[in-house]
Structures are given as C-alpha cells and as structure tokens.
Chain A
Amino acid sequence: MTLLDIENLRVRYPDTHGYYEAVRGISFRLGSERLGLVGESGSGKSSVGRAIMRLLPDGVKIEADRLDLEGEDILAAPEKRMLFLRGKTMSMILQDPRFSLNPLVPVGRQIMEVYLEHVKRDVTQARARALEMLAQVRINDPERTFDLYPHEISGGMGQRVMIAMMLIAGPRLVIADEPTSALDVTVRRSVLEILDKLVTETGAGLLLISHDLAVVSQFCDRVLILYKGRIVEEIDARDLARARHPYTQALLASIPDMRHPRSHLPMLDRDAIACLDSTP
C-alpha cells in the first residue's frame, strides 16, 4: 500500500532576489518499507522531510503536483488537520537530542505529551505507555530515566527518548532526519537498530534522511540519491555498488575503506556534475 505519494515536489526559500529553490521537483512513493534519502549538505534532503510534515518556517513555499499521505492531500489540509496528523500519523526524529529535547521538561513528560495529545487524556495510562516505550528503546531503568532532564542523559539515550516519543502514538510514517549524525560513533548502530526494529514491528514506513551512504545502505531497502534538489538516482540498497550515475559513483568512491587505505580520498568533481544539472 502506498503510504506517501509525492510528485514533483518543490520547496522554495525566500532570499534577497526572490526565491532559492532547494527542492526542484522530486517524485517518489513510499510504502511499508525503509527508504533512504541520501545527499550532501545543501542537497535539500532535510527540506523534503520538513515539507512532508509541513514544518518549514513561514514564507517558505511548498508546491507539488501531488503530496499525499495515505491518499490524503497534505498540502490542502487545514492546519487543524495537520495537528492531528503530526505525531499521530506521521512523526519526525530530529538530528541532535541536545537541541531537539526541551531542556526544562523531564523526558518522561515529553514522551507522555504525545500520548495525551493523540491517544488518550489519561495520565496514568500515558505514564505506563511511556515507561513501556522507554523499555522498548532499551533504556535500562525506565522509572528513573522518566524523571530525568535532557541534560542528565547521554546523547545516545536522548535519541532513544526521541524515538520513544515519536513512536508512542503508533505513526504510519516515520521521518528520521539524520538521526545518528550527532551521536557518538559507538552508539550510532544500536540507536539505528532500535529504530529499525520498532519501525519494522509496527509496519510503518521509514524515510531515513542521511548523508551517510554506509548507514543508509545497511538499514534501507531502497535509496534515493539527491543532488542539488533533484533525485539523480533511485536504486535498491543491495545494488548500490552497481550504481550507474556518476554522482553516486563519486560518492561511493569517497567512502574510506579500512582494507584499502589510501593517502588521498577522491573528491567530487563538481564541474562534471554541473553538466548533468541541466539534463535531469
């Protein structure tokens, strides 16, 4: 079943001379699968995620021929409907828990809030469910962690709290915007595994936005390569090594390999890629 159906999505930011087009007409469909969206900084990948949630700042223009979530046109939905959809039908995991969690609210309350808003206004039940979620994201002592403030837990724990918070209402679509980029390398894997497990269990769709090809190829079924606001290649994660597009090939070539150390990593030849820019 198609969860998300996007056709010709464009996102434009106002700047000094009119608009800057960060996303220049991308189309894809997402079912109950894990889809990776890969690109370098400024490729527009985060704008795509926030456009789907309609969480871009005022003044940013989102246009599309189609932007449907479970058959419902999101662009036409009134803000009130969006309040219902956000957190309940679709949710988003942000990059850095040091900034994305409210520093002055105990983490348990931040998790409960979603349940109270979308499932049931019952604090006892919300607390029980929040504790369950904390256990599911493998936090050792949920009772104690529940009352801690964000500054009292580590980045890895913070991101697991974030996952618990964004999954407690059972969303159909989860957008993870660079969920591990801010974390210590040693905990990235475990955080992704937890996210992967929970998403698979609930049969939700996952849109994993990342600049890290290795991470994406490991945790996704399909990968979209984004460059300068356009999708340059769509490929199955296992076929990534056989990518045809020169940009993807260049990206792959610049991944360091422990087995074959090199003195210089190849860099992207942007002039060569710029030629491709005019021929979408």
Chain B
Amino acid sequence: MTDDIGVTPAGLRKWSPSALRAGRAIGVLSSIALTLMGLLLLTFLLARFLPADPVYAIIGDNADRDTYERVYRELGLDQPVYQQFFTYALKVVTGDLGMSHITGMPVVRDLLEVVPATLELAIVAIILGSAAGIPLGVLAGTNQNKPIDHVVRIIGLIGYSTPAFWAGMGILIIFYAQLGWIGGAGRQDPYFFGEVPTVTRLVTVDALLAGRVDIFLDALRYLVAPALILAYNALAYISRMTRSFMLEQMNQEYVVTAKAKGLSRGKVIWAHAFVNIRVQLVTIVALTFGAMLEGAVLVETVFAWPGLGQYLTRGLMFRDMNVVLGSVLVIGIFFIILNMLADFAYRQLDPRTR
C-alpha cells in the first residue's frame, strides 16, 4: 500500500527485480518437481492397491504356481515396497513405462500415438467451444432474463443433457452413413496412411507441413464431428460460467463509473466488465481442456478415435496396469502444464497477483 502523500513502497523493497524473478522461477520449478514426485507416488500406490493382481493380468487365471512365482519375481514384487517405488520412479524418469500386453508395444510408443490424437481433438474442440461459449455467455450475462438470455441457457441445457454417444451416433447415421459428408471411424482415410512424414503426429498439421491440402481436408472431415460434439459440451459449460461471471461484474460499482463516464454499452461490457472475468475464464477453459484429455472416452469410442481416453479405458478393462499408470501419468503432467500456463496467465491478466 502507499500512503496518501503518494510515496511508493519502492524504498521498502529489499530484493532487486531480477533476484525476485529468479527466486520465483526456482519456486515454480521446485513446486513442479514436488508435484511430479507426488504424481509418481500416486500412480505407484494406485498400482499396488488396486484389487487387480498384475501377475494374473499377464499370465491369465489358469497358470500354474511356478509360472506365477516366476512372473511375480520378474515384476519385482518380491522386493520391499520402497525399493519397488525407486525402481519404478527411475524407469519412469528414463522414459520407460513398461510394455503393454494389450497392444504388445512399449507404453511410451502407444502414448506417442494416442496423446497427439486426443490433443488434436481437444485443441480444436476447446477453441471452438471457447470462441462460441464466451461471447454467448457475455451476451446472456448482460441481458439477464431477456429472450437472448433464455436462448443461450436453452442452448447450454441441450449441450448438458445430450449424451455424447447418442449425438455421435446420430451424426454418424445422418452425415456419414446417409449423406457421406463426413468421415466415419478413425482420424483419416486409411488410403492416406503413411503418405506424409510424421512430424507433430497431428494429422492435420502434418498434412499441411507436407503441403498436402487433400490429406488435410480429409482429416478435417474425420475431425469435424467428434470435435463439434466435444466443443458443444465445452460451450454449454463455458457459456454458463461466463454468464454468471458477467452477472457478478455488471453489478459492481466500477461499471456504474464506466456508465457515468458516458461510455457506450459495448465499451462498458468489453473494456471494463469483461476485463475482470478473464482470470476466471482462463481457469475454467483450462479445466475444461484438461477434462477433455481423459473424459472424451465416449466420443472417442463412438468415432473409433484412437485417443488417450480410449486407451486408458481399455487398459483398465484388461487390467493392463502399465497402460493405466502411463496414461494417468500423462494426464497428470498435462494438468501440471495447464496449471503453470494458467498461473502465468493470471500474472499477465491481474496486476494484483504480481
């Protein structure tokens, strides 16, 4: 705080700005390291205490005693728990997440396939969902109880209450089976498999990088339906939250000030009230995006989209612990990254948090 004569606390600062920045960076990095350790511990404990015997998952229920003992030792389950944890942590840190027995591939390799597939879907969905949901929410929140408010709420309600698999199948029946406008199962026409070099593993981006517009358009045909369904779900949530954030801000005194200055309604809304909901918006958009990584199982299943949600679910169903642990780890890491980005955005958007 400053006193009334207008003196700043500049003289009170003991640390130079660069030292402060370095200190903050160290703080952020150590908190990330700690969170990662916690994540490793959590996944490890998950594997140990889930009522699924990892040995039976591999050898099946009918294996004899000797085989069981052998696999038990191979998995290191005879060692003390802390040693098992260190072995596990060391393997994870060196990029070894074990083999998946459902795909017969290293989990890391599987993840390199399924994570980009999910990311491609989630990124498109979150962009569309925010681009439509935020303006709709602002519109509703600044026209409370007027017709447009009800329209937006009904749009949201439909988004909330329509099961993704039902909408997905409906769209497939009409636009794929009947009209043939969109792609069916998967990320692209199998005809194009291996046509362009793999760079980002996002089919659309790789196609553009290779200059193949035909492959890009084909990938879009496959992407559009699942992305729109996810986007619509995001829109329902984002528009509802935006509406309530705006309602709260429009009742603040500074909005009266802005009006008393003679600013137009548009400026009052966008230059004043909206500025104050950005931090909250970052939070819910980040959370919505995070939820899409694991929560898109139904959409991924209906459209046979080879993504993370589907991979994790199959891992769970077939007791493939390496798959489960690897997937949970990746999702956790994404949440850490999202949190970091959100924290960074807060500091950019709200001077009070600097």
Q: Which residues of A contact B (CB under 8 A)?
A: 50, 53, 55, 82-88, 91-92, 94-96, 99-105, 113-114, 117-118, 139-141, 144-145, 149, 151-154, 156-157, 162, 165-166, 184, 186-187
Contact = CB atoms under 8 A, between A and B. Distances in A.
A268 B254 CA distance: 34
A140 B5 contact: yes
A38 B279 CA distance: 41
Contact of B4 (A104, A114, A157): A157
A85 B261 CA distance: 9
A124 to B, nearest CB: 20
A194 to B, nearest CB: 12
21 contacts: A84-B262, A86-B262, A87-B262, A94-B256, A94-B257, A95-B253, A99-B254, A102-B275, A103-B254, A103-B276, A104-B275, A113-B263, A114-B261, A114-B262, A117-B261, A117-B263, A144-B8, A152-B2, A165-B257, A166-B260, A166-B261
Q: A-B pairs with the 9 shortest C-beta distances?
A: A87-B262, A86-B262, A99-B253, A140-B6, A87-B261, A156-B4, A92-B260, A102-B254, A100-B253
B351 interface: yes
Contact of B253 (A91, A94, A141, A184): A94
A104 B259 contact: no
Contacts of A102: 254, 257-258, 272, 275-276
Contacts of A149: 351-352
Contacts of A117: 261-263
A105 B275 contact: yes
A149 B275 CA distance: 14
B351 A86 contact: no
B69 interface: no
B99 interface: no
B94 interface: no
Contacts of A91: 260-261
A45 to B, nearest CB: 16
Contacts of A94: 253, 256-257, 260
Contact of A88 (B3, B254, B257, B262): B262
Given A55-B260, A151-B352, A165-B261, A99 B252 contact: yes
A97 B115 CA distance: 49
B262 A118 contact: yes
A145 B253 contact: no
B248 interface: no
Given A88-B262, A157-B4, 18 more contacts: A50-B256, A53-B260, A86-B260, A86-B261, A92-B260, A94-B260, A96-B253, A102-B257, A103-B276, A104-B350, A117-B261, A140-B5, A140-B6, A151-B351, A152-B8, A153-B2, A154-B3, A156-B4
Interface of B: 1-6, 8, 252-254, 256-264, 271-272, 275-276, 349-352
B261 A139 contact: no
Contacts of B4: 154, 156-157, 184, 186-187
B342 to A, nearest CB: 17
Of the listed residues B1, B252, B276, B351, the one surrounded by the most CB atoms of chain A closer than 10 A to its CB is B351
Contacts of B252: 99
Contacts of A50: 256
A166 to B, nearest CB: 7
Contacts of B256: 50, 55, 94, 100
A104 B262 contact: no
Given A83-B264, A114-B262, A101 B254 contact: yes
Contacts of A162: 257
B259 A86 contact: yes
A156 B4 CA distance: 6
Contacts of B351: 104, 149, 151-152
B280 to A, nearest CB: 12
Nearest to A190: B4
Contact of B257 (A84, A85, A101, A140): A101
A163 to B, nearest CB: 12
B323 to A, nearest CB: 45
A87 B260 contact: yes
Given A83-B263, A86-B260, A87-B260, A100 B254 contact: yes
Nearest to A87: B262
Contacts of B253: 94-96, 99-100
Nearest to B273: A102
A113 B261 contact: yes
